[in-house]
Amino acid sequence: MSEMFHIVIPARYASTRLPGKALRPIGDKPMVAWVWERAMQAGADRVLIATDHERIADEMTARGADVVMTDPEHASGTDRLAEVADKLALRADQIVVNLQGDEPLMPVANIQHVAAMLSERPGADMATLMEPLDHAHAQLPSVVKVVASNSGRAMYFSRSPIPAQRDNSPPAPMCRHVGLYAYRAGFLAQFVSWEPSQIEASESLEQLRALAYDAHIQIDLAPEPVPAGVDTEEDLAAIRRLLAAGS
């Protein structure tokens, strides 16, 4: 990649389904440390942990990470990201990758690819990834579906199966959205200034705010398969098994 980029890992302490999630141990270190170590392999100009909690800050600072304290009242990781970009006084055109703090197995190639996508498309505001989805899993509201244009521009995201299959029409391929994003710093500031949209509230999907305001979201197939993130105790147990087995 010719253009440098920053990686910010939002790591909130409070989690409704899994309290203290970022610090839950996986093997010999907390989950957020696994995420940070992946990020450090991606060739970014800088990797930062954005947190609202001293315990996370102390743990990761002790491990050598750059940590930025952010407002505990933020509604989302994107708000936390925008605060970091503002504190660092990033230029409007600089690329910031949002790597979720509960994705300890995110392939490094995917992090690099999402940054490169934005670097290569000056007209795009955001970039993200998708994966083929088999129709058996399409009914799950927890699996976010996406439809893209022929040029790779995201058209819509939904918790419902999209595209729908009408009567006996041939089923179109379906894709699930992978929650890894790259933004331009200037767009981040713009995004958090917008009022949430009705479709965003209806689907409970923040990326729909960008589409409601006509932002350009570039999307591509993930270069490498994306293992599940961690939302529940069951997810955490599964990740522990995978990493214990040397995945």
Kindly list the structural domains of the chain, giving each domain's residue range(s) and its CATH number in brackets, ordered by start: 5-244 (3.90.550.10)
pLDDT of the residue at 148: 98
pLDDT of the residue at 18: 76
Give the whole-angstrom CA distance, residue 31 versus residue 76: 19
pLDDT of the residue at 1: 42
Give the whole-angstrom CA distance, residue 24 versus residue 127: 29
pTM of this structure: 0.93
Residues of the chain with pLDDT under 50: 1-2
pLDDT of the residue at 74: 87
pLDDT of the residue at 82: 95
pLDDT of the residue at 247: 53
Those residues with Cβ within 8 angstroms of residue 243's Cβ, 6 or more apart along the chain or in another chain: 26, 27, 34, 104, 105
Strand partners, 96: 6, 183
Tokens in use for 9? 């890992």
pLDDT of the residue at 77: 81
pLDDT of the residue at 235: 86
Give the whole-angstrom CA distance, residue 41 versus residue 63: 15
